Structure 1
């Protein structure tokens, strides 16, 4: 039987959440002005780029037209590209690329990515950091707003019969989604007292 392993991206494969969040908020302000944000990302119902944007606009009584949404998305992507050009690529979480490569070569595992990012931004961050993900299923905010739906989209790209499903993520929203879906959750980073690197995780996934 095959074991599914699905990864978030920001602060799960890459040290990128802090910069991504700053650039995302600034892109919104650049287009619609000095809006109010909720105090924490976890305060939003749908922690994804489209989901948060819709709720920010609702909170500030701004109509979420296609023109506004597209302009914000484009400003964010341009800002992200400029950030990478000026600061270099985002750093991988130590051992992340090696683990992905080992899982790719395993007959016992199927791998996918599921992130709340927009697809274009996810690929930009991964590619500039040296990740080759062309052969991996990638579900993003372009596929759905709810985190659960994004994760289910990634799962549908994997074999139908699976012995287990493990999701690596850094946020409480990832943890909640896994609880809702009945998936095994592996926290990454200090926020949820998770792993700090991926050394040894391949052996852990075999147990």
Structure 2
């Protein structure tokens, strides 16, 4: 942990917004459109990974790759129908505000499409606490590659040694670990605390609200204390 914490990077889908299972269902529809019978639990285990990687992992190298772009488009189209139903996790807005009040830069390190990100940001409703944000357009390779976190660091004018990352998926932890950034895992996106810890999360909380309640003793709070 750096002695001078300057910022916090936040994943959005599944971390601040309760969207993981909507993504699962949207992917299911995308696969079914082309006759692929993929179980939802298999899809869910990959949500948080880049879309193209999800298709490759679930359908394998022998698939008809000419369908890939239409599967991705179908997922995006179906997910957009769920926009009105998206809700922030309890404490998400207050957690961002607490980080901002502590003098930290807050960067949304999202790999969502720009259209989805706009909706997700409105759902969280914490624009006054957000200094910068990324979308899928900012990364050449999706998670678990660290590209989106590198983009988030650039957007926030931060160094990897100066931040903590908050995410909900093992892919978040893997991407963060590749840059030496400690991860606070939130078990609200569907991955268990044990899975997040096994992936390398430094600590795990059940939700944004729980992290907010334990803020002072968390990596963030301890990083602030060390910098004083």
Tell me how far apart the structure 1 counterparts of residues 178 and 43 of structure 2 sit (CA, whole Å): 19
Tell me how far apart the structure 2 counterparts of residues 135 and 63 of structure 1 sit (CA, whole Å): 39
Tell me how far apart the structure 2 counterparts of residues 93 and 38 of structure 1 sit (CA, whole Å): 22
Q: 2:99 aligns with which of 100, 103, 109?
A: 103
* Partner residue in 2 for 1:53: 55
1:78 aligns with 2:77: yes
* Partner residue in 1 for 2:199: none
Gapped regions of structure 1 (runs ≥ 5): none
Tell me how far apart the structure 2 counterparts of residues 119 and 201 of structure 1 sit (CA, whole Å): 32
With 133-142 and 143-152 compared, the bigger mean Cα shift is at 133-142
| Equivalent residues, number | 198
CA gap of 1:36–1:163, structure 2 versus 1, over 3 A, is closer
* Partner residue in 2 for 1:151: 149
Determine if contact 2:111/2:134 at 8 Å carries over to the other structure: no
3-state SS of 2:82 partner:
helix
Gapped regions of structure 2 (runs ≥ 5): 195-203, 223-228
CA gap of 1:2–1:158, structure 2 versus 1, over 3 A, is farther
Determine if contact 1:48/1:117 at 8 Å carries over to the other structure: no
Determine if contact 1:115/1:141 at 8 Å carries over to the other structure: no
Shift in Å at residue 100 of structure 1? Answer: 1.3
CA gap of 1:162–1:63, structure 2 versus 1, over 3 A, is closer
CA gap of 1:180–1:40, structure 2 versus 1, over 3 A, is farther
Alignment of 1:39-188 (within 5 A): 40=42, 47-56=49-58, 58-64=60-66, 68-69=68-69, 71-85=70-84, 88=85, 90-107=86-103, 109-132=104-127, 135-140=131-136, 143=139, 144-147=141-144, 148-161=146-159, 164-188=162-186
Shift in Å at residue 187 of structure 1? Answer: 1.0
In the superposition, the TM-score normalised over structure 2's length comes to 0.70
1:200 aligns with 2:208: no
Determine if contact 1:42/1:172 at 8 Å carries over to the other structure: no
Determine if contact 1:10/1:17 at 8 Å carries over to the other structure: yes
Shift in Å at residue 9 of structure 1? Answer: 1.5
Tell me how far apart the structure 2 counterparts of residues 117 and 60 of structure 1 sit (CA, whole Å): 27
More helix as a share of residues? 2
Shift in Å at residue 153 of structure 1? Answer: 1.6
3-state SS of 2:132 partner:
coil
Tell me how far apart the structure 1 counterparts of residues 162 and 32 of structure 2 sit (CA, whole Å): 42
In the superposition, the TM-score normalised over structure 1's length comes to 0.76
